[in-house]
């Protein structure tokens, strides 16, 4: 009897703490491991970030906020980007060339090096976009190595999971963002 009562108590505490932990990570905030070079030099791979999910209820996202969102092109992946513009704002951006067109060899060119040199000489096209209602425009800090709204357009606020508060690892780089 005594063993069953102790087991029952342990199970009750385990279930209670599991529920509290789940609710905390799902509705309050969590820890995120950052991977990839798109936010360098602000964030590097293997940085651990503290994020929060409550501010969306009492304040709107602003330009400059770093967010964690579900990738609009791969729902199984999360992205870490900086908000550049919010609903109704105008964005002047350079549209990146798709990778396939950067290294295409045209019939009149004989080598890839000539094709690359010609692609670099072409002037980039600047495009004006407006962020629609209920969306944000996100970009990585490392523009040359970031897949962001320049590729897939503004993302819906429903894909935004949390806002980054600070970097907590490595400890030498502990800062608020």
Catalytic residue among 55, 56, 81, 113: 81
**Burial environment of residue 40 by CB neighbours within 10 A (0 to 12, 13 to 18, 19 or more):** middle
Two structure tokens written together for 32: 């995120």
Helices (H), the chain: 2-23, 55-58, 99-102, 112-121, 149-152
Nearest Cα to Cα of residue 160 among 90, 88, 59, 92: 59
CA atoms of 51 and 29, how far apart (whole Å): 5
DSSP state of 44: -
Sign of the alpha-carbon dihedral angle for 79, 75, 53, 65:
positive
For residue 9, the SS3 value is helix
Contact 30, 162 (CB under 8 A): yes
- What's the CA angle centered on 147, arms 41 and 25, to 5 degrees? 75
Whether 81 sits among the annotated catalytic residues: the reply is yes
Catalytic residue among 35, 38, 71, 147: 38
Question: Which residues are the active-site residues?
Answer: 38, 81
């Amino acid at each position: 009897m005594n063993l069953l009562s102790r087991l029952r108590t342990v199970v009750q505490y385990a279930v209670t703490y599991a529920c509290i932990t789940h609710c905390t990570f799902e509705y309050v905030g969590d820890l995120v491991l950052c991977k990839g070079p798109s936010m360098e030099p602000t964030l590097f791979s293997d940085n651990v970030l503290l994020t929060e999910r409550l501010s969306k209820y009492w304040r709107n996202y602003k330009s400059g906020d770093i967010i964690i969102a579900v990738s609009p092109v791969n729902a199984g992946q999360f992205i870490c980007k900086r908000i550049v513009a919010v609903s109704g704002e105008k964005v002047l951006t350079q549209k990146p060339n798709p990778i396939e067109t950067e290294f295409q060899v045209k019939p009149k060119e004989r080598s890839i090096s000539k094709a690359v040199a010609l692609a670099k000489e072409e002037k980039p096209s600047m495009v004006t976009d407006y962020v629609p209602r209920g969306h944000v425009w996100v970009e990585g800090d490392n523009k040359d190595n970031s897949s962001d709204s320049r590729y897939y357009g503004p993302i819906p606020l429903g894909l935004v999971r949390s806002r980054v508060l600070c970097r907590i690892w490595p400890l030498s780089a502990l800062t608020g963002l």
